[in-house]
Amino acid sequence: MKNARHEAILEIINENQVTTQEGLIELLSERGIKTTQATLSRDIQQLSLVKQRDEDGVYRYTLPAYAAAEKNLFAESVISVDYAMNTIVVKCRAGMAQGTCAAIDSVNHEGVVGTIAGDDTIFILVRSESDARKLVKKFKTEIFPGRGR
């Protein structure tokens, strides 16, 4: 439910000029997703959303530039993502692992203990298998939209 709500929030802020939490709650409701202001506030924090001025000068919710850069870098460099217990393995195109790892490190992903990158492989140590499963799902959703489930 949380992942579906997060995906819906990201779609909504990309498609609409959302300026308030109340407006976002209303747009979520139109999609059949009921949520409270407290839950939405946590979602905004977990998604690292910020309010930035758009081209019209209006402050609206958006992904910060580094999060958008991470998604673009992932789409271009990552070949596969998998996990075993609490270790995630990200396979990248040759020479792309260190830059991709730096992008991962720039975002405060929940449960990450540390990362290490070689030329084409990244190892990510997380606190639990549950954290690994969630992060792999998130990465797959970003790399392979529609097939990350």
pLDDT tens string 83-117: 999 999 999 999 999 888 887 887 778 899 999 99
Which structural domain range is residue 130 located in? 65-143
CATH of the domain at 75: 3.30.1360.40
CA distance 100 to 3: 23
Asked if residues 74 and 142 have their Cβ atoms less than 8 Å apart, the reply is yes
Q: Which residues contact 73 (CB under 8 A, 6 or more apart)?
A: 99, 100, 103
Answer yes or no: is 149 within a domain: no
91 and 124 assigned to the same domain: yes
What is the per-residue pLDDT across 34-80, written as a single tens digit (0 to 9) for each? 999 999 999 888 887 888 887 788 899 887 765 666 667 778 899 99
Distances 58 to 17, 63, 79 between C-alpha atoms, Å: 8, 15, 38
* Residue 14 located in a structural domain: yes
The number of CA neighbours under 13 Å toward the Cβ of 84 is 2
Residues 94 and 28 in one domain: no
Number of domains comprising the chain: 2
pTM for the full model?
A: 0.56
Q: Is residue 148 part of a domain?
A: no
